[in-house]
Amino acid sequence: MHRSLAVIVLVLLLATIVVPASQAAEKVWSGLVIAENVTGPQPVPPELIRIEGLLKKFFGYNDFKVIGQSQKTLNTGQEDWLATSKFFGLHVDARGETQGGYVLNLKLYKEKELLLETEAKLSKRSPLVIKGPQVGGGQLLLVLVVQ
Amino acid sequence: MKTFEERWTAWLDDQLSGRELSEFEASLPDKAAAQAEKAQAKKLGELLKRELSARPLKNEEFFSHQLRERIGHDSGEQRPERASRTSTSTWWTIPRLLWAGTASLAVFWICTIFVMHQETPPEESQYLTQILNARVDPVVSPNGTVSIFEVKQDRVTVLWTEGLQSLPADYAAK
């Protein structure tokens, strides 16, 4: 009887401690994507499956290729990181956690040249897609998703 | 004027004298029977006096001692009873503390779940990513503009830029 009681207490205590802790750390995937129209499109990268329909419908391309990416675990919501390809760099600076998301400052560089700067409140449930410059026959897209 | 009963009672108690006594005795129809009755009444009176009078206590000290002892005994019986009640009322034993802790945690969890269910869902705009501000570099892209689209159906926010410098296909390299 005392043993079962001790088990119940332990389980409740663990649940009290572990559940909030497990909610604390989240990953943000940020990617540089080239969208093109090709004759034999490749399967969409797994990070983009969730928004595949929107990408095709909204931008009018059938092929999406990740040319640079980064996956960052946010613990404090104050981290910064870089997702790069050969010529582009996306600098992400997290400026704190808000209710349901993170405030991010985003800078898109072409080599050392700043093309675009934006500040967004990235929701945990809502990806962000940024239309970048035209690249050849395709389009550079920046995608940020809280995983 | 005294009634016959009053004079009879007074005669039985030997309180008549003189002329009153002789007149009363003369009025009696059967003096011998009256004398016998008087004797019987006297005997009864003596008997009652003897039997009903309060008896003086011969051993007051002993009696009060007994009384005090009894009182002491009674209050002594009550004291251990109270003590035993106190010892049995020590409720916070370790198992009970554990039970109380478990129950408190369970109540806490139930309340937490209840409150979480009761919380009103946030507005839809809170689900969607929000663009707080955006700008294209005016030197690199002097005709650049930005627009924001919130695709609620897919829960996606799109920052749409126009007028950015077009780049050759080589820039699509990894």
User: Model's pTM, two decimal places?
Assistant: 0.58
Chain A residues whose CB is inside 8 A of the B149 CB are 58
CA distances from B90 to B77, B94, B97 (A): 21, 11, 12
Interface confidence: ipTM more than 0.90: no
Chain A residues whose CB is inside 8 A of the B127 CB are 100, 123, 125-126
Q: Which amino acid is at B97?
A: L
The mean per-residue pLDDT over the stretch A96-123 comes to: 91
- Cβ distance B141 to A134 less than 8 Å, yes or no, reads no
Using pLDDT thresholds of 50, 70 and 90, give the confidence band for residue A53. Answer: very high
CA distances from A109 to A82, A91, A133, B45 (A): 10, 8, 11, 137
**Greater pLDDT, B148 or B140:** B148
Confidence check: pLDDT of A22 > 50: no
Cβ atoms < 10 Å from Cβ of A92: 22
Per-residue pLDDT at B23: 87
Confidence check: pLDDT of A15 > 70: no
Per-residue pLDDT at A68: 95
Per-residue pLDDT at A30: 95
What is chain B's percent helix, strand, coil content, to nearest 5? 60, 15, 30
Closest residue of chain A to B148, computed from CA coordinates:
A130
Specify the range with the lowest mean pLDDT, choosing from A103-112, B1-10, B102-111: B1-10
Distance from B152 to chain A by nearest Cα, in Å?
A: 9
Cβ atoms < 10 Å from Cβ of A56: 16
Per-residue pLDDT at B87: 53
Q: Does A15 touch chain B (CB under 8 A)?
A: yes
The mean per-residue pLDDT over the stretch A4-20 comes to: 60
Strand ranges in chain A using DSSP code E only, listed in sequence order? 26-36, 63-74, 80-84, 88-98, 101-110, 113-123, 128-135, 138-146
Chain B residues whose CB is inside 8 A of the A135 CB are 166-169, 171-172
Specify the range with the lowest mean pLDDT, choosing from A17-21, A74-78, A110-114, B150-154: A17-21
Q: What is the per-residue pLDDT across B43-96, written as a single tens digit (0 to 9) for each?
A: 988 888 888 766 666 677 787 888 888 888 877 766 655 555 555 556 678 888
Per-residue pLDDT at A45: 92
Distance from B111 to chain A by nearest Cα, in Å?
A: 13
Confidence check: pLDDT of A32 > 90: yes
Per-residue pLDDT at B55: 64
Distance from B81 to chain A by nearest Cα, in Å?
A: 31
Using pLDDT thresholds of 50, 70 and 90, give the confidence band for residue A101. Answer: confident
Per-residue pLDDT at A36: 95
The mean per-residue pLDDT over the stretch B109-113 comes to: 89
Per-residue pLDDT at B57: 63
Give the start-to-end residue ranges of the domains of chain B: 4-52, 124-167
Chain B residues whose CB is inside 8 A of the A132 CB are 161, 164
Per-residue pLDDT at B49: 84
Render the burial of B77-113: b for 16+ CB within 10 Å, e for the rest: eeeeeeeeeeeeeeeeeeeeeeeeebeebeeeeeeee
The mean per-residue pLDDT over the stretch A76-92 comes to: 93
Q: What is the per-residue pLDDT across B4-50, written as a single tens digit (0 to 9) for each?
A: 888 888 888 888 888 888 888 888 888 888 889 889 988 988 888 88
Query: Among residues A66, A111, A69, A64, which one has the least CA distance to residue A88?
Result: A111
Average pLDDT along chain A: 87
Distance from A115 to chain B by nearest Cα, in Å?
A: 5
Confidence check: pLDDT of A129 > 90: yes
> Is-contact A68 A85, C-beta < 8 A?
yes
Per-residue pLDDT at B68: 84
